[in-house]
Amino acid sequence: MRITFLMPSDNLTGGNRVVAIYAQQLIARGHEVLVISCAPDRLSLRDTARALLKQDWLRLRQHNTTEPGHIALSGVPHKVLERPRAITAADVPDADILIATWWETALWMHDMPASKGRKVHLIQGYEVWFGPQAIAQVHAALQLPNLKIAISSDLKQTIEAKLGHLGIAVVPNAVDLTQFTAPPRSKQDSPTVGFVYAIATIKGADICARACELARQQLPQLKVVAFGADQPSAEVPLPVDTAFFYRPAQTELKQIYAGCDAWLFGSRLDSFGLPILEAMACRTPVIAVPIGAAPDLLGDGTGVLVPKESPEAMAAAIVAMCRQSAPDWQQRSDKAFEKAHAYSWSDATERLLEVLKP
């Protein structure tokens, strides 16, 4: 089949990684794949001047860097528009399948002729993050007539609770089991926890950081590690002495995960939460809020679920897990590994192709 993906941008987010992996998997099966993305947004001259006056170096770096995203790094066929604008039918070749990966791209896709392919909306989030003004547009995009695929049952339930039955299929994300893996290990003498750092409030890094600070009141020796695509900011301070890795190479991630006794996931809004599965694949038990795929992945005792917006509950779980006996921790570590490695991207791709059948 000829398959085209439409993306708003190429970056290092989990959603882009998912598309890159699907593209690689589909090409390996003999399909012809093209990913089309918009040019990266740039700050206007006025906004650049304001950022300079405020010495807002973080905003300037984020909007004026051209670091490659997951699509570029994957090596799959990739077309980038010459400037930030909507993707139109003239940009898209004729194909069998056309897949939108964001609400805006679903709106663009709707106006394209049937020759561009059967229209599919790969829903990777309930994308109302930009406030009330975006909700009506997101809902309109979700209600368009096309084949809809969500990446978790929680995401499907969240959307259909708002909009009614939409016939959304579910194809859960997997993890690259060659990239994310680790040999058996014992619990460390100096307990260590980690989390993904991001400034965006929805990612909940502040919850994880506060939980670590509270846990240190009972575990003064607790070590904290974090990584992320944002440089640490006073807006979301890291715990003292956190070992922080800025934009680590993909090959380094498994060492970061495997260097922890527990991984924290405190997101306020997430459609899946790939770091949960990545940590589990590296034999690291996860302490998470019940967001995204966390209830499905951890609800059977593989990890620990804690209430939303509660650093206190997360801190108590950190202390409890770090004080587990070595055999109990080992059992939880092995169980996390087995669950993560029971479902691969090859399995997910086969499920995707089954759903895409006419």
- Whether 334 and 348 map to the same domain: the answer is no
- Whether 271 and 155 map to the same domain: the answer is no
**pLDDT for the residue numbered 68:** 84
How many distinct structural domains can be found in the chain?
A: 2
- Whether 213 and 330 map to the same domain: the answer is yes
- Whether 6 and 141 map to the same domain: the answer is yes
For the cut 90, the answer to whether the pLDDT of residue 277 exceeds it is yes
- Whether 155 and 292 map to the same domain: the answer is no
**pLDDT for the residue numbered 58:** 46
- 28 occurs within a structural domain: yes
- 183 occurs within a structural domain: no
Structure tokens at 35: 């990913």
Q: Tokens 């406030």 identify what position?
A: 131
**pLDDT for the residue numbered 66:** 61
- 145 occurs within a structural domain: yes
Domain that holds residue 235: 192-340
- 179 occurs within a structural domain: no
For the cut 90, the answer to whether the pLDDT of residue 56 exceeds it is no
Under 8 Å between Cβ of 70 and 10: yes
- Whether 52 and 129 map to the same domain: the answer is yes
Give the 3-state secondary structure of the chain: CEEEEEECCCCCCHHHHHHHHHHHHHHHCCCEEEEEECCCCCCCHHHHHHHHHCCCHHHHHHHHCCCCCHHHHHCCCEEECCCCCCCCHHHCCCCCEEEECCHHHHHHHHCCCHHHCEEEEEECCCCCCCCHHHHHHHHHHHCCCCEEEECCHHHHHHHHHHHCCCCCEECCCCECCCCCCCCCCCCCCCCEEEEECCCCHHHCHHHHHHHHHHHCCCCCCCEEEEEECCCCECCECCCCCCEEEECCCHHHHHHHHHCCCEEEECCCCCCCCHHHHHHHHCCCCEEECCCCCHHHHHCCCCCEECCCCCHHHHHHHHHHHHCCCHHHHHHHHHHHHHHHCCCEHHHHHHHHHHHHCC
Q: Please state whether the predicted TM-score (pTM) of the whole model is above 0.75.
A: yes
Q: Which residues contact 320 (CB under 8 A, 6 or more apart)?
A: 304
- Whether 99 and 230 map to the same domain: the answer is no
Structure tokens at 224: 């904290």
CATH code, domain carrying 96:
3.40.50.2000
- Whether 68 and 165 map to the same domain: the answer is yes
Of the candidate ranges 62-71, 133-142, 174-183, 347-356, the one whose mean pLDDT is the lowest: 62-71
**pLDDT for the residue numbered 289:** 97
> Which whole number is the average pLDDT over 327-345?
95
- 314 occurs within a structural domain: yes
> Which whole number is the average pLDDT over 217-232?
96
Q: Which residues contact 66 (CB under 8 A, 6 or more apart)?
A: 40
- Whether 132 and 247 map to the same domain: the answer is no
- 111 occurs within a structural domain: yes
- Whether 298 and 349 map to the same domain: the answer is no
Output the average pLDDT for the chain. Answer: 91
- 184 occurs within a structural domain: no
- Whether 136 and 245 map to the same domain: the answer is no
Q: What percent of the chain has pLDDT over 70?
A: 93
For the cut 70, the answer to whether the pLDDT of residue 96 exceeds it is yes
- 185 occurs within a structural domain: no
- Whether 14 and 162 map to the same domain: the answer is yes
Chain segment 153-212, per-residue pLDDT in tens: 889 999 999 999 999 999 999 998 999 999 999 999 999 999 999 999 999 999 999 999
Query: Of the candidates 155, 230, 166, which has an alpha carbon nearest to the alpha carbon of residue 197?
Result: 230
